[in-house]
């Protein structure tokens, strides 16, 4: 039987497949940034009581299977992940590959994962 997560009055299993890209779909996710970015995403997801079930970092996009608590909307969690990770990338890389604090492109693609 599936293990559901629970809050005080609900039991749930909400998983989403999310894809987003860097600005202008440039191939920027490689080397030290690629190793560092996985740690950043896992830490930031924990701040919103979410969990990254599975993730793949490609050179020009990010795939994630994200389990999100019911009290947070998926838009709020993705906005938080993209915003805070852009700030941390900018701080760690300086001005070498990032212009301003804009690393991720606007928008994302979401589909649900689970029972049909």
Lowest-pLDDT range, 3-12, 31-40, 66-75? Answer: 3-12
Give the pLDDT confidence score for residue 1 in this predicted structure. Answer: 42
Q: How confident is the model at residue 88 (pLDDT cuts 50, 70, 90)?
A: confident
Place of tokens 């852009």: 86
Q: How confident is the model at residue 82 (pLDDT cuts 50, 70, 90)?
A: very high
């Amino acid at each position: 039987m599936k293990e559901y997560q629970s809050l005080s009055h609900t039991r749930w299993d909400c998983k989403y497949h999310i894809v987003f890209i860097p600005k202008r779909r440039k191939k920027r996710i490689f080397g030290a940034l690629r190793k560092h970015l996985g740690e950043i995403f896992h830490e930031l997801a924990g701040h919103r009581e979410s969990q990254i079930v599975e993730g793949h970092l490609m050179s020009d996009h990010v795939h994630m299977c994200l389990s999100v608590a019911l009290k947070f909307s998926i838009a709020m969690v993705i906005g938080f992940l993209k915003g805070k990770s852009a700030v941390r990338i900018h701080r760690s890389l300086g001005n070498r590959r990032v212009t301003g604090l804009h690393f991720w492109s606007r928008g994302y693609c979401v589909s649900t994962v689970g029972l049909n």
